[in-house]
């Protein structure tokens, strides 16, 4: 992926669209039954004719065709556009989802404010990975490689004994919307130690998710990890050994409350 992420790298390619001749009532029902959609591109073939939002449908006649209520003053993005530029358009226009068109004005995707947030999250995690890799190199004097792969949660050895129930709620929200950061895992001779992402893992476990995306750091030879000693001392063999603390709030929340 390039240094500056583009719309084409983060847009959703499978776009749900509506026809200009569909009725307001039919589109409203599709919107109500959809997974969080509050608007659809209106297309004729692959050409974008307009965009219809929930607000456009609100007081319209149910039998009216969509083209009579849609907005045809279109704001669109191009796949080569920088995500940061798309973010500015989304912020300034108040539009939450931009249709993405190619040079022939054909619809090729859609980018939402959620996609923009996800792009920034995915750029933040590699800095954590790089910092951890430099630390491991200095302490253990070993060569390291990095991989991006799916890991099974049941294969992970946690290195943190407890998580906070109130913070799990936020992680569940992120998972549902595809906003969760990848995990950071150390593959030490085949044993997978979870270095970062304990709340994400527990939220995924409670949601019935079996695998998660992870940055995996692999030493070129097994090393005596301090976090492995911590896991052993705490009796942590797998994620089911992590305690969910529901009788205390996260220390940051308590600190903020006291400051207020």
Looking up residue 232, the CATH number of its domain turns out to be 3.90.1530.10
The parent domain of residue 92 ranges over: 7-115
Could you tell me if 82 and 155 lie in one domain? Answer: no
Could you tell me if 160 and 205 lie in one domain? Answer: yes
Could you tell me if 23 and 80 lie in one domain? Answer: yes
Low-confidence ranges of the chain (pLDDT < 70): 1-3, 121-124, 247-260
Could you tell me if 174 and 109 lie in one domain? Answer: no
- pLDDT at position 260, please? 46
Could you tell me if 237 and 154 lie in one domain? Answer: yes
- pLDDT at position 251, please? 56
Asked if residue 251 is part of any domain, the answer here is no
- pLDDT at position 186, please? 97
Q: What is the pTM of this model?
A: 0.60
d(CA 119, CA 11): 10
Could you tell me if 71 and 166 lie in one domain? Answer: no
| Residue after which a domain boundary falls, among 115, 134, 168 | 115
Could you tell me if 148 and 104 lie in one domain? Answer: no
Could you tell me if 147 and 195 lie in one domain? Answer: yes
Could you tell me if 148 and 106 lie in one domain? Answer: no
- pLDDT at position 247, please? 60
- pLDDT at position 95, please? 81
Kindly report, residue by residue over 46-57, the tens digit of the pLDDT. 999 999 999 999
Closest CA to 39 of 102, 91, 112: 112
Asked if residue 108 is part of any domain, the answer here is yes
Asked if residue 120 is part of any domain, the answer here is no
Could you tell me if 37 and 86 lie in one domain? Answer: yes
d(CA 24, CA 21): 9
Number of structural domains found in the chain = 2
What CA–CA distances, in Å, run from 124 to 4, 13, 118?
A: 13, 24, 10
Q: What is the CATH number of the domain that holds 52?
A: 3.10.580.10
Give yes or no for a contact between 200 and 214, defined as CB atoms under 8 angstroms apart. no
């Amino acid at each position: 992926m390039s240094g500056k992420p583009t719309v084409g790298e983060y847009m959703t390619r499978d776009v749900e669209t509506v026809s200009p001749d569909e009725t307001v009532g039919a589109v409203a029902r599709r919107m109500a039954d959809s997974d969080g959609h509050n608007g659809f591109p209106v297309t004729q073939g692959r050409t974008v004719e307009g965009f219809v939002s929930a607000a456009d449908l609100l007081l319209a006649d149910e039998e009216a065709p969509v083209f009579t209520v849609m907005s045809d003053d279109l704001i669109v993005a191009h796949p080569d556009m920088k995500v940061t530029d798309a973010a500015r358009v989304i912020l300034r226009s108040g539009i939450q989802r931009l249709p993405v068109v190619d040079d022939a004005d054909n619809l090729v995707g859609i980018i939402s404010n959620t996609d923009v947030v996800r792009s920034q999250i995915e750029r933040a995690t590699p800095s954590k990975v790089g910092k951890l890799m430099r630390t491991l190199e200095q302490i253990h004097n070993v060569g390291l490689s990095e991989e991006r792969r799916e890991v099974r949660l049941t294969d992970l050895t946690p290195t943190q004994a407890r998580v906070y129930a109130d913070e799990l709620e936020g992680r569940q929200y992120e998972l549902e919307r595809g906003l969760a950061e990848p995990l950071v895992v150390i593959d030490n001779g085949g044993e997978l130690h979870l270095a970062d992402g304990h709340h994400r893992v527990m939220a995924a476990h409670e949601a019935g998710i079996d695998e998660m995306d992870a940055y995996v750091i692999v030493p070129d030879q097994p090393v005596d990890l301090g976090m492995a000693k911590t896991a052993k001392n705490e009796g942590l063999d797998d994620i089911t050994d992590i305690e969910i603390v529901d009788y205390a709030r996260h220390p940051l929340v308590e600190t903020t409350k006291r400051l207020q």
